[in-house]
């Protein structure tokens, strides 16, 4: 939140509120918050020097099953502590937990440098590159997600009951029917330092969409991570289960995590994506940025679509892109350019799913855009007029996590953008995810083969 307080001022402020404990959290490779509640005395002893946090958070999957294919940590290393550093600028108070104090942390290596495999540290590195080039990256992420009535025990996820029925996007009626939850999301998250620009129902039973207010890119990613966690916590208090799966049902639309972005001068006085005299007011810089994203998309896709389930969303006719395309205000293309005023001109990357790790998704968007600027790439792909799904002449996105991961692993592009150590670790984690899925016998298989074959 760009907290302006010094450490001592912060301590004095919290002591004046009689704070006795503090929640501290880090983010793993999947974008899941992992944290602990610590005493006030413990917090004061580590806020300057940092603290040890078991590095298994980068050595296991979302189900806490340990990877067997990564070098960073594992049984071979004994899962030692990594050095975590509290970022006091992330200070927040959790309104649904009696205004308890909360901080985010990220990791450093033994030399005190950013840890290569830490998602938040990676984003800070890419953001610093943008700043060195003279840019202020203004970003925001919006999310769609399903909300279900939570039974006392979940035995069959397919039988969960949505909080509202029917395909009713932008419905005032459906939102009103769950008004307490609807308003609680808006109000509590805003108090939590995750300001909501807008929230509404989306098409699908129990589906909401919310746009988080834009900010500098690191704060935008912090807000996005805390939005997803906060929504789940608030939903639980209402007796609901919120999910950010990309695709909960093959017969329903998927859930996006679209990223909106623009580059400004360092003093934030000028939007560099806007040019008054150009076609559609899209500047040459914005064209380079879009060209970079389109060029890099096949090699960074696992950072935007990181799960097996992600690719069930990226199918034709389901409000998610499948082709390497761009257009002005077209929701069927990978990139949706939104030229407008000097204030509002921006790019929306529509490939990103709601299941993405915001730190990695935003890092991938910015790094690939900067790649286009550095190399002065021309926007050689012409604007799509009409249906982006039908425009396959410039390529299509990989169709599953395995294909996408191999493209990323074997391309020099990802290593150039994110470093070899991160790329190796991240792609290994996605290979693990594919292996874990590949050995499972699914309901589809038993229904199709059990009796007939």
- Alpha-carbon distance 383 to 225, whole Å? 33
Residue 112 has pLDDT above 90, yes or no: no
197 backbone dihedrals φ, ψ, rounded to 5°: -80, -35
**Confidence label for 260 from pLDDT (cuts 50, 70 and 90):** very high
| pLDDT score of 34 | 98
Average pLDDT over residues 276-284: 92
Residue 390 has pLDDT above 70, yes or no: yes
**Confidence label for 3 from pLDDT (cuts 50, 70 and 90):** low
| pLDDT score of 2 | 61
Residue 4 has pLDDT above 80, yes or no: no
Residue 291 contacts residue 372 (beta carbons within 8 Å) = yes
Residue 243 contacts residue 148 (beta carbons within 8 Å) = yes
- 7-115 CATH fold: Ubiquitin-like (UB roll) (3.10.20)
Residue 1 has pLDDT above 70, yes or no: no
Non-local (6+) Cβ contacts of 265 within 8 A are 134, 135, 136, 272
Count how many residues are written for the chain: 453
What average pLDDT does the chain have? Answer: 96
| pLDDT score of 292 | 98
Predicted model pTM: 0.97
Average pLDDT over residues 352-367: 98
Structure tokens at 330: 């077209």
- Alpha-carbon distance 180 to 318, whole Å? 30
- Alpha-carbon distance 386 to 383, whole Å? 10
Q: Please classify residue 227 by burial: count the beta carbons closer than 10 Å to its beta carbon, then call 0-12 exposed, 13-18 middle and 19+ buried.
A: buried
- Alpha-carbon distance 309 to 246, whole Å? 6
Residue % of the chain over a pLDDT of 70: 99
Average pLDDT over residues 162-172: 95
What residues does 233 pair with on adjacent strands?
none
Average pLDDT over residues 377-392: 96
Q: Please classify residue 287 by burial: count the beta carbons closer than 10 Å to its beta carbon, then call 0-12 exposed, 13-18 middle and 19+ buried.
A: buried
| pLDDT score of 349 | 98
Sketch the domain layout of the chain as residue ranges: 7-115, 129-444
Query: DSSP character for 357?
Result: -
| pLDDT score of 111 | 85
Non-local (6+) Cβ contacts of 399 within 8 A are 311, 314
What residues does 212 pair with on adjacent strands?
196
The DSSP bridge pattern shows strands 33-39 and 196-201 to be unpaired
Non-local (6+) Cβ contacts of 390 within 8 A are none
**Confidence label for 18 from pLDDT (cuts 50, 70 and 90):** very high
The model's pLDDT over 296-345, given as tens digits with 9 standing for 90+, comes to: 999 999 999 999 999 999 999 889 999 999 999 999 999 999 999 999 99
| pLDDT score of 151 | 81
Residue 357 contacts residue 228 (beta carbons within 8 Å) = no
The model's pLDDT over 210-256, given as tens digits with 9 standing for 90+, comes to: 999 999 999 999 999 999 999 999 999 999 999 999 999 999 999 99
Candidates 3.40.1190.20, 1.10.760.10, 3.40.50.1820, 3.30.590.10; correct CATH number of 129-444? 3.30.590.10
């Amino acid at each position: 939140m760009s907290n302006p307080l010094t450490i001592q001022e912060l301590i004095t402020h919290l002591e004046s509120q009689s704070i006795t404990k503090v929640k501290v959290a880090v983010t793993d490779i999947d974008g899941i918050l992992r944290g602990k509640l610590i005493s006030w005395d413990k917090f004061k002893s580590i806020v300057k020097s940092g603290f040890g946090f078991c590095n298994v958070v980068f050595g296991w999957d979302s189900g806490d099953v340990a990877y067997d294919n990564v070098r960073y940590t594992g049984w071979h290393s004994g899962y030692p502590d990594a050095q975590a550093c509290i970022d006091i600028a992330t200070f927040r108070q959790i309104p649904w937990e009696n205004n308890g104090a909360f901080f985010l942390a990220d990791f450093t290596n033994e030399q005190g440098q950013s840890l290569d495999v830490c998602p938040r540290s990676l984003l800070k590195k890419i953001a610093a590159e943008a700043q060195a080039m003279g840019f202020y990256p203004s970003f925001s992420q919006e999310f769609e997600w399903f909300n279900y009535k939570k039974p006392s025990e979940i035995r069959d996820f397919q039988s969960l009951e949505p909080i509202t029925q029917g395909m009713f996007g932008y419905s005032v009626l459906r939102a009103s029917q769950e008004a307490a939850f609807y308003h609680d999301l808006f109000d509590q998250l805003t108090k939590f330092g995750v300001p909501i620009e807008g929230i509404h129902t989306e098409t699908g039973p129990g589906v909401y969409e919310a746009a988080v207010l834009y900010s500098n890119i690191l704060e935008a990613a912090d807000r996005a991570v805390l939005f997803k966690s906060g929504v789940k916590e608030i939903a639980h208090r209402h007796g609901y289960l919120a999910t950010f799966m990309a695709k909960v049902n093959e017969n329903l639309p998927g859930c996006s995590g679209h990223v909106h972005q623009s580059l400004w001068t360092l003093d934030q006085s000028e939007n560099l994506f806007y040019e008054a005299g150009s076609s559609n007011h899209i500047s040459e810089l914005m064209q380079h940025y879009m060209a970079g994203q389109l060029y890099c998309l096949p090699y960074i896709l696992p950072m935007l679509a990181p799960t097996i389930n992600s690719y069930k969303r990226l199918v034709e006719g389901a409000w998610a892109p499948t082709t390497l395309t761009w257009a002005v205000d077209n929701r069927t293309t990978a990139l949706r350019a939104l030229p407008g005023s000097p204030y509002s001109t921006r790019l929306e990357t529509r490939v990103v799913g709601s299941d993405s790790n915001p730190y990695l998704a935003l890092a991938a968007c910015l790094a690939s855009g900067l790649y286009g600027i550095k190399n002065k790439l021309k926007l050689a792909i012409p604007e799509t007029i009409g249906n982006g799904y039908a425009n396959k002449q410039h390529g299509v996105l990989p169709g599953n996590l395995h294909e996408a991961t191999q493209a990323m692993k074997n391309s020099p592009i990802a290593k150039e953008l994110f470093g070899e150590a991160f790329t190796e670790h991240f792609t290994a984690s996605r290979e693990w995810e594919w292996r874990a899925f590949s050995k499972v016998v699914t309901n589809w298989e038993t229904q199709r083969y059990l009796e007939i074959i």
